Amino acid sequence: MEVKASLKYLRISPRKVRLVANLIKGLTVEEAEAQLFYNSKRSSKDILKLLRSAVANAEHNFHLEKKNLYISSIRVNGGPTLKRWSPRARGSAYTIKKRSSHILLALKDLSEKNLKKTTKLKREKANSSKIRAGKVLKKGDKIKIDKNKN
């Protein structure tokens, strides 16, 4: 079960918000809250508020426990840009771009993460035998290379 929450029109540049978002990607909710609470970046306060909103959605709507949730994905996209003008020499003007961000946060249950790991291990075991020149080689087999052949 994936629980989503979004924050739109945050008046901080997406590049600055991504620094904090990449810090918490893949962490459990409790670890992410600790990271965000002690982080000195301005956007960490807003992302913490968004994370707590997503947790409240999970608890109220889907009856999931906070300790069993982790951040499966967090996406930061650019929002609308406000354009302002600054006067410069000889009557010219430079544009000032005041950027905004849209953040999309998705939480998943830890049990789903463990299921994905086990299926990934099964796939790796199935692919452990490789075919080379008509022979099936297993993981421990050594390959002889003939240096005379080009």
| 150 domain-assigned | no
Give the span between the Cα atoms of 20 and 64, in whole angstroms. Answer: 25
Give the span between the Cα atoms of 116 and 132, in whole angstroms. Answer: 29
How long, in residues, is the chain? 150
| 138 domain-assigned | no
pLDDT in tens, 98-140: 999 999 999 999 887 776 666 666 666 666 544 444 556 666 6
What's the domain count of the chain?
1
DSSP H or E stretch at residue 55: helix 43-62
Task: Check which CATH number belongs to the domain holding 55 and give it.
Answer: 3.90.470.10
User: Residue range 73-83: average pLDDT?
Assistant: 97
Q: How far, rounded to the nearest angstrom, does the alpha carbon of residue 132 sit from its chain's CA centroid?
A: 38
- The predicted model scores a pTM of 0.74
Q: Pinpoint the alpha helices (H) of 13-42.
A: 14-24, 29-38
pLDDT of 132 reads 47
| 136 domain-assigned | no
pLDDT in tens, 24-45: 999 999 999 999 999 999 999 9
Q: Tell me which residue range forms the domain holding 69.
A: 2-85+95-128
| DSSP state, residue 141 | P
| 101 domain-assigned | yes
Give the span between the Cα atoms of 136 and 117, in whole angstroms. Answer: 26
SS3 40: coil
pLDDT of 70 reads 95
Burial class (CB in 10 A: 0-12, 13-18, 19+), 9: exposed
pLDDT at 142 over 70: no
| 11 domain-assigned | yes
